[in-house]
Amino acid sequence: MDNGDALDPVRLLILQASPFCNIDCTYCYLSTRSQTKRISFDTVEAIAKFLRDVPVKSPPLTVCWHAGEPLAVPIAFYERAFTCFAEMPGAPAVRHSFQTNATLITDDWCDFFKRWSVHLGVSVDGPRELHDSQRIDRAGRGTFDRVMRGIAKLRQHDVAFGVISVLTERSLGAPDDMWEFYRSNGIRRVAFNVDEGKGVHEESSLTASEHLSAFRDFMSRIADLQERDPAISVRELDGMRRHLSASPDTDVTKTDNRPGAIININSDGDLTTFSPELLGQVHPRYGRFAWGNVHKDSWSDFAGNSQLRRARADVQAGVELCRQQCPYFAVCGGGCPSNKLAEHDTFVATQTMKCRFKIQAVADVVIERLERRMGLDVPCSDSTGAPAPSVIPRPSPEARQHPVLDRLDGVDHVRSDERAIVTAE
C-alpha cells in the first residue's frame, strides 16, 4: 500500500444485519428497506477477521448496528455474532450499539441489551401527532403506540437509551410539545436530525429559504428549555458548546469526511467509508459505493482501491473549499460528503442544507447566548434569520479565526461533558 493510501484509524463501524425495516418512514433514505435478506454468520466471521488488521482510534471500537431495523434479526443471531467478535483472536475490543425504532422490543431483548451492555438509540419523533405523521408502517398506520410500548419496556428493565428525532416542517412549530414529551417520558439524551434529501429520499419537507428561520427559532426555544432543565442533554447544543469552548488550536474533525474514520459494511460484506448513506449508491464518477468486500479484501486492499482514491481526493478538496470559504469551519470541520453529493452531485462542494441548519443555525443560537452571558448582547441574526455581520465574519482563508471564538477562549463555564448518543445520524 502506498503511504498516500493510508486511512485514518477507525472510530466507528456501522454494520447492517439486514436492510429490512418493519416500518416505512416517509423520509427514509434507504432504497433496500423492503429486502428481507440477512447477514450470514460467515460474513460476521469475515468481518471479525478483517478487523484484526484495522487500526482503531480509541478502543473499544463502537460497532453500530444500523441501516435497517436491527431488531428484525433474532436475538440468537446477535448472541452468536457478539461472541464471535469477543472471541476472535487479534480482533479489537468492541462495544455494540443499536439504532432502533423500538417497535419490536420485548423483555427478552431487554435482557440481551443488559447482558451485553448494548448502547441504544431510539428513533422517535416526539408526541403522537408529530411521530405518526412521518413514522408509519407499510399499511400507512402510525407507529407511536408500538414505539412507546418498547420505550416502556426499556424503562421497566432500567435499560439506558437516547433518542433521535427527525425534524420536519410540522415539528418546527412544536418545540414545547417535544420537550414535554422528552421530559415526561424520562428521556435524558436527545438528538435532532433534519428531514433532508439524500439517498432515495430526494425531496425534504424543509428548504433553507422557507424554514431556516423557523429551525433557528426552534433550536433557540429548545436552548431556553434546556437552561431550565439541564438534566436533558441535547446533542446539537452540547456539541456546539464544546466546539466553541475548545482551544483555537483544536483540530475539529468531522468523522464522515475523514477516510477510514467510519467504516460501513452491509449485509453482503461490502465496504465503504465516509457517510454511511453512501453505501450501495451508484454515481457516474465514483461508481458503486462498495470499495471492497470483507470476504476477499484486506484493509490495505480497501485503502488502495482506485475508486476510493478518487472519492477521497474529491472529499478532501471539498473540505479545503470549506476551510477557505466558510466562517463556520472552526465548529464544523468541512461538511458531510453524502449531503454534498445529494445537493451538488459532487464532493467538491461547500455549503449544504445540513450545514445551514445543523451547523450554522445552531452555532448562531449558542453564540448569541454566550455573548449575552458575557455582556455583549449582540444579535446573531436579522429578521430574515441571516447571520449578523458583527458575529459571523466574511469568509477568508483564515476562516478558523472567529471573533466569538477568540472572545470565548478560556471560558470554562460553557464546557459540557461528552454525552452524545453513540450512534450514527
- Edge-to-edge strand order for the sheet containing 61-65? 233-234, 189-194, 162-167, 119-123, 94-100, 61-65, 12-15, 262-265, 271-273
Cα separation, 286 vs 301, in Å, equals: 17
pLDDT of residue 5: 76
pLDDT of residue 373: 82
pLDDT of residue 409: 38
For the chain, domain boundaries: 3-245
At 96, which amino acid appears? H
Which string of DSSP letters, residue by residue, matches 52-71? GG--BSSSSEEEEE-SS-GG
Taking alpha carbons only, the member of 291, 281, 127 closest to residue 200 is 281
- The model carries a pTM of 0.86
At 164, which amino acid appears? I
Assigned fold of 3-245? TIM Barrel (3.20.20)
Residue 58 vs residues 47, 92, 125: alpha-carbon distances, Å:
19, 10, 32
Largest CA distance in the chain: 61
- Across 384-406, b (16+ Cβ under 10 Å) vs e yields ebebeeebbeebeeebbebebbe
Residue with cell 410500548: 149
Cα separation, 81 vs 169, in Å, equals: 40
DSSP H/E element including 102: none
Handedness of CA 66, 70, 73, 76 (dihedral sign): positive
pLDDT of residue 34: 60
SS3 351: coil
> Do the Cβ atoms of 89 and 135 come closer than 8 Å?
no
Cα separation, 20 vs 36, in Å, equals: 5
> Do the Cβ atoms of 198 and 28 come closer than 8 Å?
no
HEC string of 361-392? HHHHHHHHHHHHHCCCCCCCECCCCCECCCCC
Print pLDDT tens along the chain (425 aa).
555 678 999 999 999 999 999 998 988 876 666 678 899 999 999 999 999 999 999 999 999 998 899 999 999 999 999 999 999 999 999 999 999 999 999 999 999 999 999 999 999 999 999 999 999 999 999 999 999 999 999 999 999 999 999 999 999 999 999 999 999 999 999 999 998 755 554 566 787 778 999 999 999 999 999 999 999 999 999 999 988 887 677 777 789 999 999 999 999 999 999 988 888 889 999 999 999 999 999 999 999 999 999 999 999 999 999 999 999 998 999 999 999 998 999 999 999 999 999 999 999 999 999 888 887 655 544 434 444 433 433 333 343 344 444 434 333 322 222 223 334 45
